[in-house]
């Protein structure tokens, strides 16, 4: 039985960092960040590009699922709507898999502090702060296990996720 971890959260909450740690903590683990399938210039959000990105994500995840070398597959992406999670899961061969849908959540102040560090470092633009804060309430509506990372670091979050399994 393979474990598939779908880890969502708003921008700047720490998804990639937590998943990098999980990749090294879990046995025979593959990691896919949805942003890697969405890394283009210019960045264009259209129906066509959204469809393409979802197809790329599901293609890669299914290849990891079908490969006998991996027993744990970690995927992260913003996934702020249940329909995104449902669409991905509907396109995966999960017949011999245990699915773990997890949302990393945090309070507004903690998120603003994290994102401001990225803005100051030139990694993100200032407009991401409000866009990310606006998405916080969306995660409470999802059918997922919530892991509040407001007062814990990425290693502690990864250990909590490992214990969910």
Whether residue 165 is predicted with pLDDT greater than 80 in this model: the reply is no
Tell me: pLDDT of 128 over 80: yes
- The torsion defined by the Cα of 130, 132, 137 and 143, in degrees rounded to 10, comes to 170
Which domains, and CATH codes, for the chain?
2-163 (3.40.50.300)
| Token reading at 92 | 């995966």
**Per-residue confidence (pLDDT) for residue 155, from 0 to 100:** 97
Residue 142 has φ and ψ, to the nearest 5°, of -80, 150
pTM over 0.85? The answer is yes
Quote the CA–CA distance of 3 and 44 in Å, as a whole number: 32
Q: What is the pLDDT of residue 6?
A: 98
pLDDT in tens, 98-110: 999 999 999 999 9
């Amino acid at each position: 039985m393979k474990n598939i971890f779908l880890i969502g959260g708003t921008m700047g909450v720490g998804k990639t960092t937590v998943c990098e740690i999980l990749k090294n903590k879990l046995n025979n683990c593959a990691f896919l960040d949805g942003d890697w399938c969405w890394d283009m210039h210019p960045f264009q959000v259209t129906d066509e590009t959204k469809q393409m990105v979802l197809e790329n994500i599901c293609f890669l995840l299914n290849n990891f699922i079908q490969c006998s070398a991996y027993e744990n597959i970690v995927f992260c992406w913003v996934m702020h709507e249940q329909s995104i999670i449902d669409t991905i899961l509907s396109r995966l061969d999960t017949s011999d898999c245990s699915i773990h849908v997890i949302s990393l959540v945090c309070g507004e102040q903690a998120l603003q502090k994290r994102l401001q560090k990225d803005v100051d470092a030139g990694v993100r633009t200032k407009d991401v702060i409000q866009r990310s804060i606006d998405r916080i309430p969306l995660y409470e509506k999802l059918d997922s296990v919530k892991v509040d990372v407001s007062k814990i670091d990425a290693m502690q979050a990864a250990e909590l996720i490992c214990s969910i399994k």
